[in-house]
Structure 1
Amino acid sequence: MSLPRSRSVVVTGASTGIGRATVAALVAKGMHVWPTVRREADADGLRDEFGAAVTPLLADLTDDAAVAAAGKKVCAAGPLHGLVNNAGAALTGPLEHLPLDVLRRQLDINLVGQLAVTQAMLPALRVARGRGERARIVMIGSVGGRIASPMIGPYHAAKFGLAGLSGSLRAELAPWGIGVVLLEPGSIATPIWDRALRSADEVFAAMPPEAQRYEKQVRAARADAERTAARGIPPARVAEVVVRSLTRRNPAPRRMIGRDAQLVGVLTRLLPHRAIFRLTAAR
């Protein structure tokens, strides 16, 4: 396979939302993008829109063999200058009755899968560094990795875990100059929340009758998700920060995006845990 002429970046979860906006922003900067998607139809859509500037990869992050194959394809093409770990899902439900396979799937998608992709792409990132070029990993976390609310415990567990994973990875890769940046958006208008609502209905319907005691909290979480989908900032805003995190000489290692995220950052720094609990506890 011939090497791409420009700097190349892998972007996971590129079919919609932040991932798709990031692909567009990187292509506009003249970069070659390897977007990962799960369906051939999404790959075709990316090719139609961006042409030779993209080389789509079919890979489900929970499929170890598919992730390894994608990594081999990227590594065979030469140096990789950036990896944007964006793919994710939001699985919800009261933890008392949550099926454990739902929690495992959430962690597989939003946490374990991020490391699997990183492991697969690191050899190509090292090639870029070996040539004296920039190589950087951007993790798309969430303000939900700083503060936890009812009914989306699986999502919070994964995002809190991603913050720890990113910190350790940053420390471990420091000797080789491979930077790791964690971005923590607040409310973003993406399809993830529509999918989360559909998933919540399915999970809640399969729970025992005792789970009905959480119905009020489920309704409140649904209303909050609908507000998030309606008032969130556009994914392109996050994509702009992703591009800066990949291209600036010394970007902040951890950055919140959006006014609501910045407010949460202030509250979690200034307020004691007891006060934060009062703000987030179900009524």
Structure 2
Amino acid sequence: MAQGQRSVVVTGASTGIGRATVQGLTRMGFRVWATVRREQDGRALTDEHKGAVTPLLVDLLDHDSVRAASRRVCEAGPLFGLVNNAGVALPGPLEHLPIEAFRRQLEVNLVGQLLVTQTLLPALRTAAAELGDARIVMIGSISGRIAGPMLGAYAASKFGLAGLSESLRAELAPSGIRVLLLEPGAIATPIWERGLAAGNKLQQEFPAEASRYRFQIQAAEQMAERGSRRGLPPDRAAQVIVAALTLPNPRPRQVVGRDAKVAAMLARVLPYRLLYRMTAARR
């Protein structure tokens, strides 16, 4: 597929999968709009890619910033692709997770994804009409297929994103806009360190009786540490994202990583009773 000057928006582009995706797309000749939350991250991307990247200051909790950035993109012309990558992980037992933290998880990982999509759809529709193709790539998680303890809020957001993606896929099909859902397993990105830090901060708000979850919390922390060390490098996930934007007929939903493939298979073939027994906490 000849890219020309086709443009793509990548959210959450300052680190991890988002930054690696920006690198992969610029190598393919795309013009990239990259959302970041800090001006210094935007400057770093601009310096690194020498005119191929335009940073946008966006905080998904600030809906005005989303709308302002989207207006700028829409005014620039057709938008071939949108990569909804930005996200956070806020761990903790659902019994004691502050409802504000739960709401923030959904706002960033689910509501924010829809708002970005809604506000950029005019430019995506223009690209679909002029080029015959436009694509939205949703970055979900294997936690959107199988959920375990301590990441209930994150799993809720990713299960929701899977449903959101399926409905968008159906609704936008007549417009020629494809909606693709990628579900990575463990990727070695800063989301693990940020999740640990957020979890430690949230634990300070838990009541004393939350101590019954201490072993589950410790297990979740160990899993996060393993993910930061042993997860796939972000550029492996970025390769799948770039392929989703460039292949003539990409798969509409796919998992990324061996661990994700195993988990997806188990979620598909095991009876629920056995699956729940496997994911239940041991203490």
The answer to whether the Cα contact below 8 Å between 1:81 and 1:133 also exists between their aligned partners in 2 is no
Q: Which residue of 1 aligns with 2:111?
A: 112
Matches within 5 A, 1:4-83: 6-83=5-82
Query: What residue ranges of structure 1 are gaps of 5+ in the alignment?
Result: none
Structure 2: distance between partners of 1:256 and 1:215: 31
The alignment's TM-score, normalised by the length of structure 2, stands at: 0.98
User: What is the total number of aligned residue pairs between the two structures?
Assistant: 280
The answer to whether the Cα contact below 8 Å between 2:132 and 2:176 also exists between their aligned partners in 1 is no
The answer to whether the Cα contact below 8 Å between 1:15 and 1:42 also exists between their aligned partners in 2 is yes
CA drift at 1:172:
0.3
Q: Quick check: 1:140 aligned with 2:151?
A: no
Structure 1: distance between partners of 2:201 and 2:60: 22
Q: CA RMSD in A?
A: 1.0
CA drift at 1:5:
6.4
The answer to whether the Cα contact below 8 Å between 2:145 and 2:267 also exists between their aligned partners in 1 is yes
Matches within 5 A, 1:204-215: 204-215=203-214
SS of the residue corresponding to residue 282 of structure 1 reads coil
The answer to whether the Cα contact below 8 Å between 2:136 and 2:180 also exists between their aligned partners in 1 is yes
CA drift at 1:134:
2.0
Residue identity matched to 2:24: A
Residue identity matched to 2:262: L
CA drift at 1:132:
2.9
**Farther off after superposition, 203-212 or 161-170:** 203-212
SS of the residue corresponding to residue 79 of structure 1 reads coil
Q: Which residue of 2 aligns with 1:164?
A: 163
Residue identity matched to 1:49: E
The answer to whether the Cα contact below 8 Å between 2:188 and 2:229 also exists between their aligned partners in 1 is yes
Name segments (4+ residues, structure 1) moved above 3 Å.
none
The alignment's TM-score, normalised by the length of structure 1, stands at: 0.98
**1:129-182 Cα deviation digits (max 9, x unpaired):** 111342100000000100001001110000000000000000000001100000
Q: Quick check: 1:249 aligned with 2:248?
A: yes
Structure 2: distance between partners of 1:75 and 1:120: 9
Residue identity matched to 1:16: T
Structure 1: distance between partners of 2:131 and 2:214: 56
SS of the residue corresponding to residue 52 of structure 1 reads coil
CA drift at 1:278:
1.1
Fraction of identical pairs, as percent: 61
Structure 2: distance between partners of 1:80 and 1:132: 10
CA drift at 1:125:
0.5
Structure 2: distance between partners of 1:204 and 1:135: 43
